Amino acid sequence: MMSAIDAHIHLDMYDEEIAKTIIAELDASQVQALIAVSRHLDSCKATKQLKSLAPDRIFAAYGFHPEQELPTETKLQALIDWMTEHASDMIAVGEIGLPYYTRHEVEEAGKPFDVAPYIQLLERFLQLAAQWDKPVVLHAVYEDAKIVCDLLVKYGLKRAHFHWFKGSDETVERMIAAGYYISITPDVLYEEEIRTLVRNYPLELMMVETDGPWPFEGPFAGEETHPRMIHAVIEQIAELKGKSAQETTVILLQNTYQFYQLS
């Protein structure tokens, strides 16, 4: 088994001792590194602390996850100030995006949902990413992805990583043409929608992730999500692409190094 990189994990959302165990087990798990994303200011600080335990293996992204209540202007400014202070420490701005699941939950309950403030918030982070010359880690699926693609063009951002992406054929074609990356989770082993996406998206624009501690079904039902699961993801991608697991591992690893400009 060759080593690989988990390109999207919420390390701070694990129990602290479990997170430390995951870090300690990286070599045994054949995992070279983790791209650890953040959700808000406290999450950013926790991610930074975890990064300090293995600074050459954990690469931190700082941002504000869209599937939560909007921050007050005071809290947002505190986050932006902190990110500005630690811009040299972060590998990317993320996780940022639009609240697809929250919006649909609210609308299904028969209530209105105003997405405009979330778009405005996303624009602020995209402006910062452009200013800092950082890639962005995006939570943007289905119709939201089209909006985000428009905003990426608006702010001249070319290094975009759409994690756990789902979307229309039209949006997929647009993302491929723009050279945007996606990352594939363990649900590729049992979700036909994701398997189809893997068949259609270029391997050269692909990474692998767990989005841990998010739980999975299928062969992973009941298991705590762990970075070592990416090896099963790679094997499935290889099968869907008609390539060897070794060749696929090398390409996915190179993609992650290239996108995040890892040394």
Backbone angles phi, psi at 103, to 5 degrees: -60, -45
Phi-psi region of 226 (alpha: psi -120 to 50; beta: other; left: phi over 0): beta
pLDDT of residue 1: 67
Task: List the CATH number of the domain containing 124.
Answer: 3.20.20.140
Following CA atoms 59, 188, 1, 29 in sequence, which dihedral angle do they give, to the nearest 10 degrees? 50
* Residues 252, 234 contacting (CB under 8 angstroms): yes
Residue-by-residue pLDDT tens, the chain, 263 positions: 689 999 999 999 999 999 999 999 999 999 999 999 999 999 999 999 999 999 999 999 999 999 999 999 999 999 999 999 999 999 999 999 999 999 999 999 999 999 999 999 999 999 999 999 999 999 999 999 999 999 999 999 999 999 999 999 999 999 999 999 999 999 999 999 999 999 999 999 999 999 999 999 999 999 999 999 999 999 999 999 999 999 999 999 999 999 999 97
Domain carrying residue 167: 4-260
103-112 residue pLDDT tens = 999 999 999 9
Q: How many domains does the chain have?
A: 1
The two tokens of residue 46 are 């926790």
Q: Which pTM was predicted?
A: 0.98
* Residues 67, 92 contacting (CB under 8 angstroms): no
Query: Alpha-carbon distance 111 to 123, whole Å?
Result: 25
